[in-house]
């Protein structure tokens, strides 16, 4: 996982680099907004930690430019200011999260991990598994020529499975991602949802894509 830190204060930048490197991230640093924007546009990062007060080009302008150029890397804004107006301006510019200085490093790390977990592993618009296509922009799916109508929750589940196709996802993981909570004991809700999804994407087709791995969970993959 690769993180870009755009921060002009050398002490803060090296503190973040040290902490995040220890947490197993690969870290690049840009010391002003212009360099930050250039790197963010031309290289692939899993996340950008972006200071608001920056020389050359401020953080909000960097962020607006990124989103204008259709670069959707998750952005965590860092700022010394903590007013509602600043927060709103940040989110309107396309920030995914916001943290005011001074902050506890543990909180920064928790937010970074949460943002990375929420982000699609790849920024593709259409996911393909066998003849199953999932259009993430139009929120539609089809197999071959047959359109498959899904509820919002079924779509979210299918997207999660497709983004990690070939990987076995545990019930607990699926629950935490789709229902945003942790069921330790009752993961039956996942089984029910998978059953419904399977009825829609697999029942009418010979080549089954959604498989149960006994004692582990579920995997979406084309085994044909």
Residues making contact with Ca ion (CB under 5 A): 8, 51, 53
In the complex with Ca ion, which residue's Cβ is closer, 9 or 202? 9
Cβ nearer to Ca ion, comparing 8 with 133: 8
For residue 11, what are the CA distances in angstroms to 8, 16, 76, 94, 204? Answer: 9, 9, 19, 27, 60
Tell me how far, at minimum, the Cβ of 7 lies from Ca ion, in Å.
6
Which CB, 81 or 117, lies closer to Ca ion?
81
78 or 112, CB closer to Ca ion? 78
SS3 200: helix
The answer to whether the CB of 112 falls within 8 A of the CB of 47 is yes
Report in angstroms how near the CB of residue 12 gets to Ca ion at its nearest.
8
In angstroms, give the least distance from the CB of 54 to Ca ion.
6
Nearer to Ca ion, 77 or 162 (CB): 77
Instruction: Give the pair of three-digit tokens for residue 169.
Output: 């996802």
**Shortest Å distance, C-beta 44 to Ca ion:** 25
Residue nearest to Ca ion (CB): 53
Instruction: For residues 8 and 73, give the distance between their C-alpha atoms in angstroms, rounded to a whole number.
Output: 20
- CA atoms of 82 and 98, how far apart (whole Å): 9
**Exposure of 66 in the CB half-sphere (CA atoms within 13 A):** 33
* Nearest-approach distance from CB 8 to Ca ion, in angstroms: 5
């Amino acid at each position: 996982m690769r993180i870009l830190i755009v921060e002009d204060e050398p002490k803060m930048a090296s503190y973040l680099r040290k902490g995040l490197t220890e947490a197993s991230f690969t870290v690049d640093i840009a010391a002003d907004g212009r360099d930050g924007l250039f790197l963010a546009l031309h290289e692939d990062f899993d996340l950008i930690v972006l200071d608001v007060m920056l020389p050359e080009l401020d953080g909000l302008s960097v962020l607006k430019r990124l989103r204008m150029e259709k670069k959707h890397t998750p952005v965590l804004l860092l700022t010394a200011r903590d007013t509602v107006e600043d927060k709103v301006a940040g989110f309107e510019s396309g920030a995914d999260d916001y943290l005011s200085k001074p902050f506890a490093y543990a909180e920064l790390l928790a937010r970074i991990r949460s943002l990375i977990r929420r982000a699609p592993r790849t920024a593709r618009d259409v996911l393909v598994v066998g003849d199953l296509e999932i259009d993430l922009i139009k929120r539609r799916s089809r197999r071959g020529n047959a359109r498959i109508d899904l509820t919002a929750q079924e779509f979210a589940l299918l997207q999660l499975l497709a983004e990690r196709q070939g990987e076995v996802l545990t019930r607990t993981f699926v629950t935490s991602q789709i229902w945003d909570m942790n069921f330790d004991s009752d993961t039956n809700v996942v089984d029910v949802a998978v059953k419904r999804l399977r009825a829609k994407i697999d029942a009418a087709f010979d080549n089954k894509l959604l498989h149960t791995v006994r004692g582990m969970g579920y995997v979406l993959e084309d085994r044909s």
